[in-house]
Amino acid sequence: MKSKAQTPTASLVATLHKPDLSILGNAIRSLPPAQWTERMFFTGAADTELREQTVAFPATLRQDKTTHPIFLLQAGTSGHAACPCSTKGHWRKFRYIREGCRLEMKEHTMDRDSFLIERYPFTLPLDHRLFKQVRFCGRVPEGCLVDRRVPDR
């Protein structure tokens, strides 16, 4: 069976395309979508844009709170799969990022549980015209994603 080892050139190209962002740490405020990877967490997605993308989230558009976080479910070559997050939810119904989790790449610690509203996934195009105001908070470590959902009967 042949191994799938990369040639030195292919390895260099991959490294240049996806550099090690952790060395920049807290200096990162925003990232071009081509640099996004799965499990990245962003704040500041406008509720009006989320409603346009998901059709149903958030359920109500409020005057006092106009944004929600988003979580990157999967990075793609033509767009990224994401879902909105909310502090309102129940651990029996949603996966969540646990309170106190320290995100990778930045010194951001989650100040509360953030539920992944995966029933409203959407695709973010790589040109990033949508959600241009989102702020990068870091990458969620696997150990901070909690899944205690109870299947429907």
- Given this model, what pLDDT does residue 126 score? 79
- Say yes or no to pLDDT of 119 above 90: yes
Q: Give the residue, 117 or 17, on which the prediction is more confident.
A: 117
Average pLDDT over residues 11-18: 55
How many CA atoms does the CB half-sphere of 5 hold within 13 Å?
5
pLDDT, position 35: 83
Q: Which domain holds residue 102?
A: 26-146
User: Residue 79 is part of a domain; what is its CATH number?
Assistant: 2.30.30
Three-state secondary structure call for residue 27: helix
Give the residue with greater pLDDT, 39 vs 23.
39
Give the residue with greater pLDDT, 45 vs 2: 45
Structural domain count, the chain? 1
Q: Does a structural domain hold residue 30?
A: yes
For residue 8, tell me if it sits in a domain. no
pLDDT at residue 1 is higher than 60: no
> Is the pTM for the entire model greater than 0.95?
no
Distances (CA, A) of 28 to 15, 34, 104, 108, 144: 18, 15, 12, 11, 21
Tell me if 12 is assigned to some domain: no
Cα–Cα dist 108/99, whole Å: 11
Going 61 to 63 to 65 to 69, the CA torsion angle's sign is positive
| Cβ atoms of 43 and 67 closer than 8 Å | yes
91 located within any domain: yes
Residue 132 pLDDT level (bands cut at 50, 70, 90) = confident
Q: Is residue 89 part of a domain?
A: yes
| pLDDT band with cut points at 50, 70 and 90 for residue 30 | low
